[in-house]
């Protein structure tokens, strides 16, 4: 299976890539990747898919959102995450569906914040919730037996050092449980699911 992993060099993405290592993997990112893409830019996404011509599965583990004090936060702080993690992933589907083989799949990444927002995490909570809603809707619209799911990870154990302080009281999730969510989405038959791993 020809599997595109955007963000495949990141904390979660590199473990997803390892779990899918028997397949024809293409790792995409802004740097040090098999193919360069910036999901913030629709033209960049189009150029990537044109170069690849077709894929059997598209996984995205790229993108983030703003964390900061709610009382003083502004639109300017929220826009990069909306443009990147939210619209970037949506554009991967809107553009990528024309390059996706029959029966192929999209797997987006949201996160636990959609349901259990951390303090200072309103932006990320909103983005993750919107991704989940997009997946529910897009699953009804995709043609050619194409499927779409979101993996919604909790705080993964590999990220405790980086993000643990932002999420006091959150239970770290073993990485294998998270990578299994991606395997279920890509290799299984599930469609229109929010695969919660927390
Ligand atoms: N880690 C966790 O505990 C956790 C928990 C819940 C949800 N999540 C979500 O899971 C996803 C992955 O998290 P992570 O911790 O693995 O992130 P990460 O370690 O920061 O990795 C992100 C990857 O995406 C690439 N990337 C970033 N921006 C990009 C862009 N605009 N275009 C293309 N590639 C881009 C990065 O490579 P380049 O910089 O080279 O482009 C990097 O390889 C995120 O959506 C995050 O919000 C993570």
Report the atom number in ligand 1 closest to the C-alpha of 153: 6
pLDDT of residue 114: 98
For the chain, give the mean pLDDT: 97
Note the pLDDT tens digit of each residue in 167-181. 999 999 999 999 999
pLDDT of residue 33: 97
Q: What percent of the chain has pLDDT over 70?
A: 100
Q: Is the CB of 45 under 6 A from ligand 1?
A: no
pLDDT of residue 48: 98
Q: Is the CB of 39 under 6 A from ligand 1?
A: yes
Please report, to the nearest 10 degrees, the dihedral formed by the alpha carbons of residues 156, 161, 163, 169 taken in order: 70
Q: Binning pLDDT at 50, 70 and 90, where does residue 155 land?
A: very high
- Is pTM beyond 0.85? Reply is yes
Q: Is the Cα dihedral 71, 74, 77, 83 positive or negative?
A: positive
Structure tokens at 8: 């495949």
* Residue 61: strand, helix, or coil: coil
Q: Is the CB of 104 under 6 A from ligand 1?
A: no
Residue 101 Cα to ligand 1 midpoint, Å, equals: 25
Q: Is the CB of 31 under 6 A from ligand 1?
A: yes
Report the atom number in ligand 1 closest to the C-alpha of 13: 16
**β-strand partners of 107:** 59, 149
pLDDT of residue 44: 98
Q: Binning pLDDT at 50, 70 and 90, where does residue 75 land?
A: very high
Element (H, E) at 139: helix 122-141
The single residue listed with the structure tokens 């024809």 is 24
Mean pLDDT, residues 84-99 taken together: 98
Element (H, E) at 51: helix 42-52
**β-strand partners of 156:** 173
Mean pLDDT, residues 134-155 taken together: 98
pLDDT of residue 6: 98
Q: How far does CA 19 lie from the centroid of its chain?
A: 16
Q: Is the CB of 5 under 6 A from ligand 1?
A: no
Element (H, E) at 27: strand 24-29
pLDDT of residue 139: 98
Report the atom number in ligand 1 closest to the C-alpha of 38: 32
pLDDT of residue 72: 98
Mean pLDDT, residues 62-90 taken together: 97
Please report, to the nearest 10 degrees, the dihedral formed by the alpha carbons of residues 82, 87, 88, 93 taken in order: 160
pLDDT of residue 115: 98
**Phi, psi (5° rounding) for residue 61?**
-120, 35
């Amino acid at each position: 299976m020809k599997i595109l992993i955007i963000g495949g060099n990141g904390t979660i993405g590199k473990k997803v890539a390892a779990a899918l290592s028997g397949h024809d993997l293409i790792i995409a990112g802004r740097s040090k990747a098999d193919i360069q893409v910036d999901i913030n830019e629709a033209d960049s996404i189009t150029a990537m898919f044109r170069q690849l011509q077709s894929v059997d599965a598209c996984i995205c583990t790229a993108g983030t959102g703003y964390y900061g004090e709610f009382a003083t936060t502004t639109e300017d702080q929220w826009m990069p995450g909306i443009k990147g993690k939210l619209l970037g992933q949506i554009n991967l589907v809107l553009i990528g569906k024309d390059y996706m083989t029959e029966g192929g799949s999209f797997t987006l990444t949201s996160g636990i914040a959609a349901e259990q927002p951390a303090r200072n995490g309103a932006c990320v909570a909103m983005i993750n919730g919107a991704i989940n809603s997009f997946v529910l809707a897009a699953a009804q619209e995709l043609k050619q037996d194409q499927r779409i799911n979101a993996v919604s990870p909790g705080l993964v154990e590999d990220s405790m050092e980086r993000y643990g302080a932002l999420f006091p009281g959150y239970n770290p999730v073993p990485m294998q449980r998270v990578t299994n969510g991606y395997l279920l989405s890509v290799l299984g038959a599930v469609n229109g699911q929010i695969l919660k791993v927390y």
